[in-house]
Amino acid sequence: MSSKLASYTALLLILLLDIAYFVSVNKSSKLIHTGSESIGPAYFPNLLAVILVVLCLIGLLQTARKEDTKIHIPHFKMIGFTVALMVLFILSWSAFGWFYLQNILFLTILLTVYRYKPGKILYITFTSLLLSMIATAFIYAVFNLVMHSTL
């Protein structure tokens, strides 16, 4: 991916977020009447929003002058898979509960995919499952029995 393109995209998205922040904070602050001269809840956020616009514009100019390079994210598909699995795990945990069971599944899938070797899939899946169960038992002992934290 081109670093210039990535920088432009990031800075423009930050600018959009800044505008959304500015609008939201000023909308909320109109709920109270503090008088036109007072230093109200929108004062500091407005200052930050203006400074951020200036910095982003300087950043865009700086990016335009820089030489383009390639940003390389090695093993991008594996990283994407990991993030997707984490999202599914959180969705499933929040919807159904059963943390420890889901944890065993989550760890087993990750360990199996990370250690995948053709021809050894059964062995790898079995050892992954075993390790996941041991890890989950350890987590149960620490969080549930020692720290009394419900997961």
**Which residues of the shown chain bind other proteins in the complex (CB under 8 A)?**
3, 6-7, 10-11, 14, 18, 21, 24-25, 28-29, 31-32, 34, 37-45, 48-49, 51-52, 55-56, 58-59, 62, 71, 73-76, 78-79, 82-83, 86-87, 89-90, 93-94, 103, 106-107, 110-111, 114-115, 131-132, 135, 139, 143, 147-151
Residue closer to other proteins (CB basis): 122 or 128: 128
- Give the pair of three-digit tokens for residue 113: 């995919």
Burial class (CB in 10 A: 0-12, 13-18, 19+), 107: buried
User: Token digits for 5?
Assistant: 């393109």
- Smallest distance, Å, CB 101 to other proteins? 13
Q: How far is the CB of 24 from other proteins (least distance, A)?
A: 5
- CB environment 109-135: b (16+ within 10 A), e (fewer): bbbbeeeeeeeeeeebbeebbeebeee
CB of 123 vs other proteins, minimal distance in Å: 14
Q: Give buried/exposed letters for 20-40 (b at 16+ CB in 10 A, else e).
A: eebeebeeebeeeeeeeeeeb
Q: Is the CB of 1 or the CB of 122 nearer to other proteins? A: 1
Shortest approach of other proteins to residue 25 CB, angstroms?
5
